[in-house]
Chain A
């Protein structure tokens, strides 16, 4: 680097300024990396030894004095499925509307502003509104369904944004070709546009799963804190149960069982790692296709 040679000829004051700031920059970057590594390392080292088969495959039993997190795992899975099934058509539809139907105007600007706003609202407020609207007004009670519906509003912006990104990469010539051959707009969207942006939609889903898995404040008052097995998908939707994140909170703060909490944290961390990795891979594939 020429910087070095230049460095020697600089007056002392500027040289010190340069050195000190360079040191600070490297220090801060190193601190961030150290933080990531130590956080993840600490969770895995403290948590993984407590992740046993018995913990993963049973529910809590007072008789045997054992703790199992199978109900929470199932609840998390159910909520992910329900939320995605509901949000996918809505989010993809909104993105298609913004990208294919709407002409840019005040309406589009308002829609984009509100979508941004939704992404910025803290989850505790989602929890409150979900509790008042879904649990009380629609009398769904504190149930997995209420929780899933609350999360639908929360992850809507994620799905809309990623789908929109990937709709923008579909070449204009595809649209012109299809319309030129006499296809109607809906036919074109169904057969040409949507299939070519599947990657983007899947990326959105993965990001949404990441958010759902990590969410706790919005679910505390909508999906509840139950730790019992709820049975099959449809019966479970009506019952109240804690997802993994909420279960972590319960075990750590209300029961003081930090070993279990760290085991749940380790499981959560593994899920987050997988989700991040999958999203990265897909994102790269999306870029290559462009």
Chain B
């Protein structure tokens, strides 16, 4: 009798354990799913916040006045909120950094993937990675304590803080992304292409420039776009060297980028001024999203074309 009771107990116990296990299985399933869609939630949260907080000021100021107004005087008696100077500065700064950074980065990527011996390349690559790890404030510090005085002395200017200094700092900062993405793309070029070109009598260099680089162009473009994204979004390093005056951009003038316009005034802003800062952030966010989508398209094209 007692044995039977015992058996019944254990079987009930077993059943409980089984259903417990099934329940925990289901709970874990749900938890993993929630973690999975967390990224979607974050992007949604950021987008919603950007739009909600950015729209009121644009509506109040008027879209054309906001985007194409040439004067930013947020603390004046009759405040004016035109962000054209910031947009143009960001555009020119990025263009300048790309013009300087891309050739140097691309050539270094060619060197690493095609010219240097494997051992040499393995020694240099970590050094380039290190460049990516240097905090942006450190770039800013070197910029403001070395580059800015050097520019002032070299070009005989009263102050060296300028668009030019920002362009130089940015072009160094985007180097690592351009180098590493382009190098991957160049390494993925099928060796048959290059062998065929060499067999036809082209030199190594001719092969690189007429076969390898064209074959890897969408990967290289992805690297360039990634670099552009970094340059547009950089705030601290630029804030330290660009001078932060809301001028229309001139190469040796003190300028404000989209990013620095936000970080410079955010701590003491209020009312419409604060809302206008959020609107600047919205514009910046739209820029970045465009760049991201472009990057995604390029990378997809690259994986398809590489095979």
Contact = CB atoms under 8 A, between A and B. Distances in A.
Interface in A38-55: 39-40, 42-43
Given A120-B295, A153-B42, A125 B127 contact: no
A29 B107 contact: yes
Interface stretch (A60-68, A108-116, A165-173, A197-205): A108-116
A35 B236 CA distance: 20
Interface stretch (B33-41, B56-64, B75-83): B33-41
A121 B233 contact: yes
A216 B137 contact: yes
Contact of A36 (B31, B45, B127, B137): B127
Interface of B is mostly: helix
Nearest to A124: B235
A101 B107 contact: no
B278 interface: yes
Contacts of B172: 35
Interface in B87-110: 103-105, 107-108, 110
Nearest to A100: B32
Interface stretch (B8-16, B201-209, B248-256): B201-209
B281 A128 contact: yes
A33 B127 contact: yes
Contacts of A91: 35
B21 to A, nearest CB: 6
A80 to B, nearest CB: 14
Given A111-B39, A118-B42, A249-B140, A221 B111 contact: no
Interface string A236-260: 0000000001101100110000100
B36 A98 contact: yes
A43 B53 CA distance: 40
A268 B142 CA distance: 13
Interface of B: 21, 24-25, 28-29, 31-40, 42-43, 45-46, 49-50, 53, 103-105, 107-108, 110-112, 115-116, 124, 126-131, 133-138, 140-142, 144-146, 172, 175, 179, 203-206, 208-209, 226, 229, 232-236, 239-240, 259, 262-263, 266-267, 278, 281, 284-285, 288-289, 291-292, 295-296
13 contacts: A18-B205, A28-B104, A36-B127, A36-B131, A40-B130, A93-B36, A114-B39, A120-B291, A124-B262, A125-B285, A215-B135, A253-B144, A268-B135
State the 4 A-B residue pairs at the shortest beta-carbon distance, nearest first. A122-B233, A93-B35, A214-B135, A97-B36
